[in-house]
Amino acid sequence: KGRKPLIIATWNHGLAANEAAWKKLHQGSTGIEAIEAGVRIPEADPAVRSVGYGGYPDREGKVTLDACIMDHRSDCGAVSFLQGIKHPISVAKKVLEDTPHVMLSGEGALQFALSKGFKEENLLTAAAEKDWKEWLEKSKYQPVINIENHDTISMLVLDTDGNLSGGCTTSGAAWKMHGRVGDSPIIGAGLFLDNEVGAAAATGLGEAVIRTAGSAMVVELMRQGKNPEEACKEIVERIYEKHKNHRDMEYLQVGFIAVNAKGVYGGYSLRSGFNYAVYDEQQGNRMEDAAFKMN
Ligand code: SD4
């Protein structure tokens, strides 16, 4: 079932993101321009508590954001621990385009963003602040599985020329320690692609994805001949094996999406409840449930 163009994005917020990205692709934009336009939708949406503006803060009440973007030439840009900027994906894209580096972090990322004309603003909404204050009463850190069914947004694009690109953006784990960075801005963990082979991206507990170099491994398995779903499944199985006796197991959820260079796509998650939005010419924009290992 190979097809192009093709866009896949994690969770329900992927539908609106795909819509914007699809429009861009059809206006002749590049893959990363389409991704930027797509994921800016949940970044700006205050109702999405796991990405950008309206995202849950860390335990000190600070919203800190992670994002990355990668194109078919393997050029990439990322920001981590960025505060006060609503669209980290756009800053990541500027890192790719305008710097000799791959990742800028924290204060340096903010200074870079300001130098590029981004506006500093308060990203902590009243609703997120209220939930944080409630959390403070017990201050028990426990990541939530399938947080409100929207966690990180990760998007993969196969354009009409057959070129792959990808992006991720997130406010990370709610109530994380100040300074914590997850998998989402890390090339190879939250996102990876090789234009000759395929692309993969992750959602869920970033620590587990980093420990296993998740997305890079999914791409490598596709290189070895696995189809995207099989490749995602094998890495989820590996994550399970590494974590079954681990303190993180109780709340561990990870999910991967992948697409190969032919336009075959798939996804797989550890626990049920993970879905992703797929947009192609044949069937339009719709949600598909990922296969999973356990409930
Ligand atoms: C991260 N993958 O930062 C992201 C989203 C998340 O618990 O917070 N999941 O780990």
pLDDT, one tens digit per residue, over 179-232 is 999 999 999 999 999 999 999 999 999 999 999 999 999 999 999 999 999 999
d(CA 66, CA 186): 9
Cβ(206) to ligand 1 under 6 A?
A: yes
Cβ(203) to ligand 1 under 6 A?
A: yes
What type of residue is 156?
L
pLDDT of residue 54: 94
Give per-residue pLDDT as tens, 272-293: 999 999 999 999 999 999 999 9
Residue identified by tokens 């998740």 is 214
Mutate to test the pocket of ligand 1, among 81, 181, 183, 250 (most ligand atoms within 8 A of CB): 183
- Are the CB atoms for 180 and 205 separated by under 8 Å? no
**What tokens were used for 37?**
């336009």
Q: How far is CA 172 from CA 32, 182, 282, in A?
A: 22, 6, 34
Mean pLDDT of 102-123: 98
d(CA 68, CA 170): 10
- Are the CB atoms for 155 and 8 separated by under 8 Å? yes
- Are the CB atoms for 64 and 105 separated by under 8 Å? no
What type of residue is 41?
I
Mean pLDDT of 149-157: 91
Residue 2 confidence class, pLDDT cut points 50, 70, 90: low
| Ligand 1 centroid from CA 292, angstroms | 18
| Ligand 1 centroid from CA 26, angstroms | 31
pLDDT at 1 over 70: no
Q: In what order do the strands lie in the sheet with 198-204?
A: 191-194, 198-204, 254-260, 265-271, 291-294
d(CA 181, CA 81): 6
- Are the CB atoms for 38 and 26 separated by under 8 Å? no
Residue identified by tokens 């993101």 is 17
- Are the CB atoms for 177 and 62 separated by under 8 Å? no
Atom of ligand 1 nearest to the CA of 144: 7
Residues forming the active site: 152
Mean pLDDT of 155-163: 97
- ipTM, two decimals, is 0.94
pLDDT at 44 over 80: yes
Cβ(84) to ligand 1 under 6 A?
A: no
pTM given for the model? 0.97
d(CA 141, CA 87): 27
Cβ(184) to ligand 1 under 6 A?
A: yes
